[in-house]
Amino acid sequence: MTTRRDHRQTHVRPRPPSTGRPAPIKVRPRSPSPTRLSVHKPIQRSRGLPVVAKLGLLAAVAVLGVTVLYVGVGGLGGVVGGISASLAGFVTSITAAPTPRPSVVSISDPPTLQQPAEPYTAEATVDLIVTVPSDVVGDPNSRLRVYLALKDQAPTPIQEAPLSVTAQTVIPVELTKGINDFSVTIVGPGGESDPSPVVRYVLDQAPAKVTIYSPEEGSVVNGPTVEINGKTQARSTLIARNAANGASVNGAAATDGLFTLSLPISTGTNEITITATDLAGNEKREQRTITLRP
């Protein structure tokens, strides 16, 4: 008995050549679920106001501005006038030629005043010696202005004088009783300079009081000299003279006005004269007559 093999034709799909990459995995989309987010949608951005809306907004702002201006300036005429003035000012600012600036002239440095050796004086007139900077010496367009400040008062201009052809100019001034503070400025095309340092004069025409403490008038003393003690104006000079023997002695009062002089005397009567001269040159005399016992 012969066995017959059933030969059936088998068809096998050839495998594609390998590329080295894994085959993609096919995933079946899931069905919607209440707990699952829906598919993401891109955000759509607004393109802003339409052109017509923008024009309407600008027109509303313009109307509001005109309304406010109308109320503020008092009517339509004011609005038109304000707009016209603004336009006219704008046009003028553009077309107008620039105004040239005036040239600035420099002001001179301040002058100086010569300080007196002694501010106290009995003379009613003194000379101010003014020295000016070299750049204004002899300048015909400049002049000197003198200021005077009395006690507890502000400086006041009292006179002017031309500049000398040299650096120094002498200006006579009159004094007022008491303190006189002088200062000088230079006045020129550029204006007025700063004032000079102050120079003080004190007009004193009253003699200083002299008080003799010892010896007393008519006293009798012992010894060849007598000590004279007294008080007068501070820093005054003193001279004591004895008419009996021609002796004399000089001295000066201290800053508190006290002084002491020792004068030789002779036997018998001695007539002594004490003369005090203050800083202004005023003199005051006091006398004492004393007796020296034989």
Q: What domains are defined for the chain?
A: 112-203 (2.60.40.10), 211-292 (2.60.40.10)
Average pLDDT, the chain: 80
User: In the predicted model, is pLDDT for residue 219 greater than 50?
Assistant: yes
Lowest mean pLDDT across 79-93, 226-240, 272-286: 79-93
Phi, psi (rounded to 5 degrees) for 90: -65, -45
- Min mean pLDDT across 13-22, 114-123, 161-170 is at 13-22
CB 282 within 8 A of CB 207: yes
Predicted pLDDT at 183: 98
140-177 pLDDT, tens digit each: 999 999 999 999 999 999 999 999 999 999 999 999 99
What's the whole-number mean pLDDT along residues 180-188?
97
Q: How far is CA 89 from CA 96, 97, 188, in A?
A: 10, 14, 39
pLDDT at 91 over 80: no
Distance CA 197, CA 175 (A): 18
Q: How far apart are CA 30 and CA 154, in angstroms?
A: 105
Q: Say which range, 2-6, 209-213, 232-236, has the weakest mean pLDDT.
A: 2-6
